[in-house]
Amino acid sequence: MHTTATTRTYTLSDFDFELPPELIAQHPAPERSASRLLDGTNPTPVDRIFRDLPSLIHPGDLMVFNDTRVMNARLFGEKPTGGKLELLIERVLGGNQVAAHMRVSKKPEVGTTVSLLGAPGSHDHLSATLLGRWPDEQGQLFRFVLSNDAGDDPFTLMARHGHVPLPPYITHSDSAEDAQRYQTVFAKNPGAVAAPTAALHFDEALGRGHVSASQNRKPGGSPDAQRVV
């Protein structure tokens, strides 16, 4: 007797799942390493606390730490018509150009210059001119050139005027707490628009002390500070 193997075609909706809003923490635990940790090293999973991690690591184990630093990559502004828009910069290109996601009710025409909101109290005349789509005419991102009175580069402009790119399931506006906590304690190289979330649970003691030299530790992340990942 022969059986015919069938190949299932998967769609994005096959990976949808229900996540009740009340189960999504809107703010982190007061202590980074006090977050919960699910230990799956045994047949029966065990609930632990993240600070228990060193007891699960053995000499010779390799740990790769992503040391990219999250940029303030979200910018808000408005079109000449007054319509609001939001940019999420994903990549910094040459010549003060950036590739960004754009959230807007009606896409502006190529060549349109939009005014971007600066930091409170600033008079920087920050703006972005739409050059087209990126990386080609059918690209999902939009290519803008950023400018201000001082002629600053995009990284300087984001640091001064941008907002923390919190995930869409976080419903509050970014705050000083988010600027500090949506960043790993070993973040160094600028470029990320999303934090390596598992690494957010390392505090100074756990990251630099309890994970001892008996384990191999290697830095990871983008070697190119000009690329936003």
The yes-or-no verdict on residue 161 having pLDDT over 70 is: yes
Could you give all domains of the chain from N- to C-terminal order, each with its CATH number? Answer: 58-72+166-224 (no CATH), 74-161 (2.40.10)
Specify whether the CB–CB gap between 104 and 96 falls below 8 A.
no
3-state class of 54 per DSSP? helix
Supply 227's token pair: 């690329």
What pTM does this model have?
0.80
The alpha carbons of the chain give a radius of gyration, in whole angstroms, of 22
pLDDT in tens, 202-223: 998 886 655 544 445 555 554 3
Specify whether the CB–CB gap between 110 and 144 falls below 8 A.
no
Which CA distances in Å does 220 have to 51, 56, 188, 217? Answer: 21, 21, 11, 10
Q: CA–CA separation, 174 vs 75, rounded Å?
A: 12
Q: What angle do CA 165, 170, 172 make, to 5 degrees?
A: 90
Q: How many CB atoms lie within 10 A of CB 15?
A: 7
Sign of the alpha-carbon dihedral angle for 62, 186, 160, 75:
positive
pLDDT in tens, 69-85: 999 999 999 999 999 99
> What is the helix (H) or strand (E) element at residue 161, kind and residue range?
helix 154-161
pLDDT in tens, 5-30: 678 889 999 999 898 989 899 999 99
